[in-house]
Amino acid sequence: MSLTEAAPLDLDWVRSRFPALRSDWVLMDNAGGSTPLGAAVDRIAEYLRRWPVQLGASYTPSAEAGELQAEARAGLAGLFASGGGPVPSPGQIAIGASTTSLLSRLARALAPTLVAGDEIIVTDADHEANIGPWLRLQSQGVVIRWWRIRPDSMQLELDDLDALLTARTRLLCFTHASNLLGSALDIKAIAARARTAGARCCVDGVAYAPHRALAFAEWGVDWYAFSLYKVFGPHCAVLCSSPEGAGMLANLNHEWMQPSDAAGRLEAGAYPYELAWGAAAVPAYLEALGAHHGGSAFAAIEAHECTLTTRLLDWLAPRPGIRIIGAPAAGPGRLPTVSFVTSRAAPQAVVAHTDSAQVGIRHGHFYAPRLVEALGLERATGVVRVSLAHYNTLAEVERLISALDGAL
């Protein structure tokens, strides 16, 4: 379904699912953490009340809890095929506290497969979660090569990647969408280049997953991670491994455990059971959203977010002294994360003004200080970022504009 064919988003229906939206505040810091579904909150409370047990025992509450966890993991696996392709097996899905935590575990699990002189490509457009763990492998002789953004286009160019890929490239680590620029990459094309060179791909999908459907198996990447607390769930994250990628992982679990799947190898000890059960409200919500709109949940989400982004960018672009950090117009691949700086005020001063209007946005480098510096900006001050979600309204965007008007 195209954007023009998508049914208009029923915002009354959508917003009724998010109790926190009843606040007097307009919440537009969603890339930092989205509002959780009421169903997620209810499921967490119910789980803690009824199944306050460890898994794996024969008594009834433990057995029931095990069944619930299997159901939750299967539901979360479905998120990785919301845009097509086969659903990954539940064992391919590792659950952890955050994407940062899971990617750090992934690096530790892959370290034994690497020898001195092997190369890993990272980008300066990524969140530090997908840079720092790989830089630490330099201590064992791994060579880091940088795929750098072009400041003029504010994009990572495939020609620059081709110049970095060599016979020693083992891994390419990159973001699906910058949490600052708001532009999505063609990860299928990037993964194809990497595979031609014999390299594997690790993708940070945190800034993409709240806005567009996922098709993990069709993209040809080996590991893909995102945080559920930025996709309308509680504070936990998931990492999907391809079958081949799972087979490469060293076991991080207890020495007497020799799990064959990625989940068992990466989930050292327990994981937050109640949060996993709560997070399963996310795929259920997206399925219900699609059914309510007679098609794909993400078709309706994309169309609505495009409307919101267009209004904000159209207002910002002609303002004197404004520099939009990212694509200046809405369109395919443009997500509703809008960053800018102005010559008229420091980012902190702009945000102080919107704070006083009870509009929640943020300033800073958003854990992407290398990107901020690559674009000629100061790490210490960063940018102003407005990060919208599908439950935001045009009226809320107008309220934001009114608040910004007084600061800019």
Lowest-confidence range among 3-7, 52-56, 145-149, 383-387?
Answer: 3-7
For the domain made up of 42-285, give the CATH fold. Answer: Aspartate Aminotransferase; domain 2 (3.40.640)
Confirm if 374 and 149 have CB atoms less than 8 A apart: yes
**CATH number of the structural domain 11-30+297-407:** 3.90.1150.10
For residue 200, give the H/E element and its range.
strand 200-204
Residue holding tokens 């190898």?
265
User: What is the pLDDT, as a whole number, of residue 226?
Assistant: 98
Check whether 3 has a pLDDT greater than 70. Answer: no
pLDDT range class, residue 143, cuts 50, 70, 90:
very high
User: What is the pLDDT, as a whole number, of residue 1?
Assistant: 46
Tokens of 134: 């790989």
In terms of DSSP bridges, do strands 26-27 and 359-360 run parallel, antiparallel, or are they unpaired?
parallel
Measured CA to CA in angstroms, residue 341 lies from 105, 150, 262, 344, 363 at distances of: 35, 18, 42, 9, 10
Helical residues (DSSP H) of 185-280, grouped into ranges: 187-196, 216-219, 243-247, 262-266, 273-279
Among 198, 256, 209, 215, CA closest to 237: 209
Confirm if 252 and 258 have CB atoms less than 8 A apart: no
User: What is the pLDDT, as a whole number, of residue 7?
Assistant: 74
- Beta bridge mates, 119: 143, 169
Count of beta carbons in the 10 Å neighbourhood of residue 173? 25
Q: What percent of the chain has pLDDT over 70?
A: 99
Start-end ranges of CATH 3.90.1150.10 in the chain? Answer: 11-30+297-407
Q: How many helices (H) and strands (E) does the chain have?
A: 16, 13
Check whether 5 has a pLDDT greater than 70. Answer: no
Q: What is the mean pLDDT of residues 383-387?
A: 98
